[in-house]
Amino acid sequence: MIIKYFAWIKDITNKEYDTINNDFPKDINDLKKYLTKIYPDLQKHLSKDILRFAINMEYVSENHNLNQNDEIAIFPPVSGG
Amino acid sequence: MIIKYFAWIKDITNKEYDTINNDFPKDINDLKKYLTKIYPDLQKHLSKDILRFAINMEYVSENHNLNQNDEIAIFPPVSGG
Amino acid sequence: MIKIQKKNFNIDKEIKYLKDKYSNVGAVNTFIGYVRDFNNNKDVKYLDLDVYKEMALKELSKIKNNAFKKWRLVDCLILHRYGRLKVNEKIVLVVCLSEHRKDSFEASKFIMDYLKKDAPLWKKEFYHNDSVWLENSN
Amino acid sequence: MIKIQKKNFNIDKEIKYLKDKYSNVGAVNTFIGYVRDFNNNKDVKYLDLDVYKEMALKELSKIKNNAFKKWRLVDCLILHRYGRLKVNEKIVLVVCLSEHRKDSFEASKFIMDYLKKDAPLWKKEFYHNDSVWLENSN
């Protein structure tokens, strides 16, 4: 499983992505707990529900199961255009 | 007074404009009679009220007085763009 | 700016010429009209575009001024060609510059709508064997 | 066509490349977004544009396909740049080709609205002393 970070999430994680090979989170809620543990500064943003999640490049708005080969992305509201 | 013709009006008049130095029409209705006399093929179009008139490059929709130095234009509905 | 000209134009150059004057412009909406190969159920060969040039300049200025009254525009160009235009050639260019995109979109549409309604320009379309003067529908 | 690229583009060339394929196109609507010199009440120096490239390609394709379902379009280009962009540089280009103008105008607006809402791209704006990640408003 790969977890990609974008925009100011990267400023908190100080990296562009993490890979998890064992004991990967089984759903988005589980992933949020995992991220809170390794990146405590993410907690306030995760709890305010302002971040968007994508699984394999598709937005997910509700909790969703995760699989070993999934590419997860976490990012703030977009600002392109 | 100059009377300018555009688009298919020119196909009827066979010229781009007429100038009238004496006895010029005193208003648009008068002008229509004048045109009917010299260009009989214009009559059916004038009577159907499909032509547009401009005096000194301003549209006129009602009858309107004319002056000696006016530039009158007569044309069909536009099709630019 | 209003331009009524015979010659072709380069879209990038026309936009750049306007945009280079302003650093507060975030949005440019552009409309380009072209001669289509098929109209009135017939193959089109070319158009002859007649214009009442002085009045067209005046009418288009009026339309442009109305757009400035209705939206927050920074600048605006309306360019219309006349004379003989072949299939695929550009006929008209409208460019609206604004800070935010909504103004540029709406002004550009407004200008095209009124240009089609009021600007004294006429297309004569030539087909294989005949030709016809067009009229804009609403 | 969807393009996500660092390098600048020439508006005329991008349009010509699309338009040259079709003789039935009468209308092209184009939107160009630029870096403005002033935002958030501060002088802007430049932007850094972050992108989730593979997903942006996918999202923009989806938006483009939705535009094709809603309007009669002949073709369409969405081009978005990323990386460092200075004031006055072009950020985004949308080009919609159709037979009649209404479709090109409405599709182009629709695409920009959804691009601003859903395309995974983020602007970090740099001022004299500080910088901030932006969020699009609605």
Q: pLDDT tens digit string along D15-54?
A: 999 999 999 999 999 999 999 999 989 999 999 999 999 9
What average pLDDT is seen over chain D?
97
- Amino acid identity at C103: D
For an interface test with B, give the residue of C3, C117, C121 to mutate (most B CBs within 10 A).
Answer: C121
Tokens of C77: 């160009």
Mean pLDDT of D104-115: 98
Residue D125 has pLDDT above 70, yes or no: yes
Q: What is the pLDDT of residues A3-60, one digit of tens each?
A: 999 999 999 999 999 999 889 999 999 999 999 999 999 999 999 989 999 999 999 9
* D138 assigned to some structural domain: no
If one counts every other C-beta atom within 10 angstroms of the C-beta of residue B79, the result is 21
Chains C and D touch (3+ CB pairs under 8 A): yes
pTM over 0.90: yes
- Cα distances from C107 to residues A75, C80, C138, in angstroms, run 35, 17, 18
Q: Which of D15, D31, D95 to mutate to test the interface with C (most CBs of C within 10 A)?
A: D31
Residue C137 is assigned to a structural domain of this protein = no
Determine the Cα–Cα distance for residues C136 and D107; give it in Å rounded to an integer: 22
User: DSSP letter at D87?
Assistant: T
User: What local confidence, expressed as pLDDT, does residue C53 receive?
Assistant: 98
Q: What is the pLDDT of residue C111?
A: 98
- The answer for residues whose C-beta is within 8 angstroms of residue A23's C-beta and 6 or more apart is none
Mean pLDDT of all residues in B42-69: 95
CA distance C53 to C82: 9
Spatial separation of the C-alpha atoms in residues D135 and D138, rounded to whole Å: 10
Let me know if residue C135 belongs to a domain. no
In percent, the amount of chain C with pLDDT more than 70 equals: 99
Where residue D137 falls among pLDDT bands split at 50, 70, 90? confident
Give the relative orientation of helices C53-70 and C101-118 as an angle to the nearest 10 degrees. 150
**Helix C11-19 and helix D11-19, axial crossing angle in degrees, nearest 10:** 150
User: What proportion of chain C, given as a percentage, has pLDDT over 90?
Assistant: 98
Question: C58 vs chain D: nearest CA distance in angstroms?
Answer: 24
Q: Give the gap in angstroms from C-alpha D100 to the nearest C-alpha of chain A.
A: 25
Give residue C138's pLDDT band: very low, low, confident or very high (50, 70, 90).
low
- A2-75: CATH topology: Ubiquitin-like (UB roll) (3.10.20)
Over residues C68-72, the mean pLDDT reads 98
pLDDT class of A2 with cuts at 50, 70, 90: very high
Output helix, strand, coil percentages for chain A, rounded to the nearest 5.
30, 25, 45
CA distance B79 to C97: 26
What is the per-residue pLDDT for C137?
A: 85
Please write the tens of the pLDDT for every residue from D56-108: 999 999 999 999 999 999 999 999 999 999 999 999 999 999 999 999 999 99
B78 and C92 within 8 Å at the Cβ level: the answer is no
Would you place residue D138 in the very low, low, confident or very high pLDDT band (cuts 50, 70, 90)?
low
CB-CB under 8 Å, A6 with D120: yes
In a domain, D11, yes or no: yes
**Residue D12 pLDDT grade (very low, low, confident, very high; cuts 50, 70, 90):** very high
Name the domain count of chain D: 1
What ranges do the domains of chain B cover?
2-75
Residues of C in contact with D75 (CB under 8 A): none
Map residue C33 onto helix, strand or coil: strand
Sheet of D90-98, strands arranged across: C2-5, C75-81, C90-98, C27-34, D27-34, D90-98, D75-81, D2-5
Average pLDDT, chain C: 97
Q: How far apart are CA D131 and CA D44, in angstroms?
A: 9
Q: Is residue C24 part of a domain?
A: yes
Contact at CB, B81 and C120, closer than 8 angstroms:
no
**Whether the predicted interface score ipTM is above 0.85:** yes
The pLDDT of residue D109: 98
CATH number of domain containing C111:
3.90.1170.40
**Residues 6+ away with beta carbon under 8 Å from A51:** A9, A45, A74, A75, A76
CA distance readout (Å), B52 to B9, D65, D112: 11, 44, 39
